[in-house]
Amino acid sequence: MTGTAPSVDAGARLSGVGVGRGGVVGPVVQVRPAPVVPADTPVLVDGAPADGPATHAVLDAAFATVAASLQEQAGRAEGSLAEVLTATAQMAADPALRSQVLARVDGGEPPVSAIDGVVSTFVTMFEQAGGYLAERVTDLRSVRDRLVAAALGLPAPGVPELRVPSVVVARDLAPADTAALDLANVLAIVTELGGPTGHTAIIAGQLGIPCIVRVAGATDLPEGGEVAVDAAANVVTVAPDEALRAELVERAQAERALASDTAAGATADGHPVALLANIGTAEDAERVAGTAVEGVGLFRTEVLFLERATAPSVEDQAATYTRALAALGGRKVVVRTLDAGADKPLAFATAADEENPALGVRGYRLVRTHPELITTQLAALAAAQEATGVAPWVMAPMIATAAEARDFAQAAHAVGVKTVGVMVEIPAAALRAEQILAEVDFVSLGTNDLAQYTMATDRLRGELADLLSAWQPAVIELVASTARAGKATGKPVGVCGESASDPLMALVLVGLGITSLSMAAGAVPAVRYAVRHHTLDTCQQMADAALAAGSAEAARSAVVALADPQVRAALGW
């Protein structure tokens, strides 16, 4: 639990961790909670408690129904949402989960007790594993809730029908719940749990929906009561007054005005900074093609793999890559090879006995156990390059050494990929960035994982969000080290983590020597505005101030003090 709920009287301010910069006012709609029933509640058949075989059959059908429903939602979703829904459906269809529950029921244990016991075991395993598996705990509990409801004939938990534009409030919001949202009527999302890099936050950012997580007392907000959600200020205000309403309207108008600027990214004195978009599917590529971005700085390719029981063929992958490259019309596209492994549920490449998947065989390390996954993907990218005449930039995730970078570059060049790079997500790679850049053409910093590994802090732990901040001086120092290596070798160093979408942090990154910033397409206008209103010299002063600070809060405050007053006012710093 999140502790004692704050007052929900008019004017009360509930604090959390904001995602994005949006601000809206609207009525609260609370997500239906999970069914709360005694552990010994029986399955009913024709109004009477079912016997053992009948209970087994009902539960077996419940597993199939929940998995099929989730997969159907995944089929209607796109991008990151489709990815996580597919993975959640795989959880519901997992033979181990199903067989253990049914074995308990066949042994005489009540069905709800059996489901809770097995899910609790899996939750403990996931939490102990940390990393990506820990982030799946919310999804696993969502599967539990849906199974209990399906088995007992109760309404499925989740979001009710949204009849008017509303603020969706929940203790936590699973991807399956997000998929059920009528996006035309979702003004904002507010949750009591979660973290700024968890699934709810990522999906909200992808969809351009204002979101605040870790809001203590959110579930006590009255149904239908109006609240103001200010993601930039990290605050939910109950029954906002006219002054706050007017402020949010004015800010929204200013944001729309920023979006009208389509100039290439550059500082006030003309220093170029490429502004790029993050995508996850070919559909995403087609969607951002019509926006004012200079290309794609991160094409996550996991969806192609997570949706399948077996690895996709060269032909299947090439078709998707070809479609994405064609959609961008020759603009830069940076493709990240498969970032999955033991810490992500791949049916064909998951090591069941790995004790700590977050530190295990993931990303490029899959070449140690499943080299064909990498070689097949590289061949597909080379085929897409030949089919379109557009040469993608291709990079590998989770590179730790210069030797790994060299091996990947050799494999990519061998099939005809022309521009090869790697991700810098591990402190070791940042510290040895110059040696790594000697082997490849560019690097891109994934600041979410870099912060996680630098600060030894699980990304799911919302109560540790301050340690995960990109403003932590230690994280900034590693970014600076990588940028210095780029300058020394004359090679590009980009950032494609969440920090690139923060207009204030973007100025620091430019000052450090970062050459490109990749983010959700909706974040580009504010970043472009901030960069275009500061000189390179000012950005460098900001970078020096952030590096000299003793804490994340001091670093941000020092940079705000150096910002142009007009920009501070426009962006709410």
Active-site positions read 199, 496
Cα–Cα distances (Å) from 159 to 168, 169, 481, in that order, read 8, 9, 46
Do residues 400 and 418 lie in contact, with contact meaning Cβ atoms separated by under 8 Å? no
| Interatomic CA distance for residues 318 and 380, integer angstroms | 4
Do residues 137 and 127 lie in contact, with contact meaning Cβ atoms separated by under 8 Å? yes
| Interatomic CA distance for residues 194 and 450, integer angstroms | 19
Helix orientation angle between 199-207 and 79-92, rounded to the nearest 10 degrees: 150
Cα–Cα distances (Å) from 30 to 17, 157, 210, 219, in that order, read 19, 11, 16, 7
Provide the H-helix boundaries in 27-161. 52-76, 79-92, 95-106, 111-129, 131-135, 137-152
Do residues 71 and 86 lie in contact, with contact meaning Cβ atoms separated by under 8 Å? yes
Structure-token pair, residue 279: 């995508």
Helix orientation angle between 79-92 and 52-76, rounded to the nearest 10 degrees: 170
| Interatomic CA distance for residues 129 and 502, integer angstroms | 30
Question: Could you write out the DSSP letters of every residue in 374-408?
Answer: HHHHHHHHHHHHHHHS---EEEESS--SHHHHHHH
Ramachandran region, residue 339 (left: φ > 0; alpha: ψ -120 to 50; beta: rest) = beta
- Letter for the amino acid at 478? L
Instruction: Provide the 8-state DSSP code for 7.
Output: P
Do residues 83 and 339 lie in contact, with contact meaning Cβ atoms separated by under 8 Å? no
HEC-encoded secondary structure of 512-572: HCCCEEEECHHHHHHHHHHHHCCCHHHHHHHHHHHHHCCCHHHHHHHHHHHCCHHHHHHHC
